[in-house]
């Protein structure tokens, strides 16, 4: 194992501890790791082979090593948060759930999509937005070259299904708030797309309705946030599809300003 890989694992474990213990990274001892001798020799052989076939050429590499390391670290942290969510019993929703639904997507997303909470299909599968509303959401995102497989991460305000799909209660939202905060801190999205009233109210601490605030940008922890109608609302009222599409076009325009080539990440394995 290389010194860099050892350091990555050590820092990963420390960051995981910080997410839930309140510690800061400076609390942990800095260690000067060394390459394993047997690995060093093997790495020299590998490096020589790569040089001969051209794979060390930066122009032929789709991702530099530091980007791969960052993605691995963030994916591990997100998995650790998901494990903590699976063990959570902080509110009554834990008594009726089948599965927790922490979220799904890429480790370094351009966009974080936040909905209300899991429904019946999501509760069964443990994945967000897999029912009819989820299928519509995938089409909405695809229309502006976004995807949960390529450049987005999708989650909800609460991670367990409220009975009969009711609106989450304030104490249920509060019980999940630190999980969502940890996800945002790790994922560091370029933009946030909030779906529906519950996401809008809790992220912006407002009582204003989605019909008043949709299509407008707000600052959430220095991240541009735009709210639009929840896909479930579009299934109930087709007249909302036109304003929702206008919202998405506004969202796309801002994303293009921040990441001019973001569309290259669509259907491209998430590489940017």
Q: Are 56 and 135 within one domain?
A: no
Residues 39 and 140 occupy one common structural domain: no
Do 49 and 141 share a domain, yes or no?
no
The angle formed by the CA atoms of residues 244, 247 and 249, to the nearest 5 degrees, is: 115
3-state secondary structure at position 117: coil
What band does 137 get if pLDDT is binned at 50, 70 and 90? very high
Output b/e per residue, 68-80; b: 16+ Cβ within 10 A.
Answer: ebbbebbebbbeb
- Would 110 be classed as within a structural domain? yes
The domain of 133 spans 93-265
Q: Which of 61, 80, 111 is the last residue of a domain?
A: 61
Helix (H) or strand (E) holding 193: strand 191-195
Position 73 in a domain: no
pLDDT of 62: 45
Q: What is each CA distance from 176 to 49, 90, 100, 113, 180, in whole angstroms?
A: 49, 8, 11, 16, 7
pLDDT tens for residues 138-180? 999 999 999 999 999 999 999 999 999 999 999 999 999 999 9
Q: Are 182 and 103 in contact (CB under 8 A)?
A: no
**Do 108 and 71 touch, CB atoms closer than 8 A?**
yes
Same structural domain for residues 233 and 107? yes
198 part of a folded domain: yes
CATH of the domain at 224: 3.40.470.10
What pairs with residue 105 in β-bridges? 153
- Nearest residue to 109 via CA among 200, 230, 15, 192: 192
Residue 86 lies in a domain: no
| 80 found inside a domain | no
Instruction: Give 167 or 3, the one with higher predicted confidence.
Output: 167
Is the model's pTM score more than 0.85?
A: no
Q: Which of 42-56, 88-102, 230-244, 248-262 has the lowest mean pLDDT?
A: 42-56
Q: What's the pLDDT at 267?
A: 78
pLDDT single digits (tens) 194-219: 999 999 999 999 999 999 999 999 99
Do 50 and 136 lie in a common domain? no
Tell me: do 201 and 109 sit in the same domain.
Answer: yes
Query: Alpha-carbon distance 79 to 84, whole Å?
Result: 9
Strand partners, 219: 224
Do 170 and 51 belong to one domain?
no
Beta-carbon contacts of 181 under 8 Å, excluding residues fewer than 6 positions away, are none
In a domain, 180, yes or no: yes
Q: Among the three residues 21, 39, 61, which one is the final residue of a domain in this structure?
A: 61
For 31-72, write each residue's pLDDT tens digit.
776 665 544 444 453 455 444 444 444 443 445 555 667 788
Residue 129 and residue 242 share a domain: yes
Counting residues of the chain whose pLDDT is more than 70, the rounded percentage is 75
Looking at the structure of the chain, the number of domains it has is 2
The position carrying tokens 């998901």 is: 82
């Amino acid at each position: 194992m290389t010194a860099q890989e050892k350091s990555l694992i050590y820092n990963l474990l420390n960051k995981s501890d910080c997410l839930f213990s309140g510690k800061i990274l400076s609390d942990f001892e800095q260690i000067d790791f060394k390459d394993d001798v047997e690995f060093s020799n093997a790495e020299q052989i590998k490096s020589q082979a790569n040089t001969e076939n051209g794979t060390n050429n930066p122009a032929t590499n789709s991702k530099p090593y530091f980007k791969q390391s960052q993605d691995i670290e963030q994916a591990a942290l997100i998995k650790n948060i998901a494990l903590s969510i699976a063990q959570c019993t902080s509110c009554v929703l834990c008594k009726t759930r089948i599965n927790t639904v922490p979220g799904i997507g890429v480790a370094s997303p351009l966009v974080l999509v936040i909905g209300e909470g899991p429904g019946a299909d999501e509760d069964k599968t443990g994945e967000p937005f897999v029912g009819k509303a989820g299928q519509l959401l995938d089409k909405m995102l695809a229309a502006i070259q976004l995807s949960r497989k390529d450049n987005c991460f999708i989650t909800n305000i609460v991670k367990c299904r409220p009975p009969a799909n009711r609106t989450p209660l304030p104490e249920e939202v509060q019980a999940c708030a630190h999980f969502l905060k940890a996800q945002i801190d790790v994922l560091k999205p370029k933009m946030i797309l909030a779906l529906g009233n519950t996401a809008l109210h809790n992220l912006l601490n407002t009582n204003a309705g989605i019909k008043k605030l949709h299509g407008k940008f707000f600052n959430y922890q220095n991240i541009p946030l735009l709210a639009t109608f929840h896909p479930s609302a579009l299934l109930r009222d087709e007249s909302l599809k036109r304003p929702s599409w206008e919202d998405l076009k506004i969202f796309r325009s801002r994303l293009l300003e921040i990441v001019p080539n973001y569309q290259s990440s669509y259907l491209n394995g998430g590489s940017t």
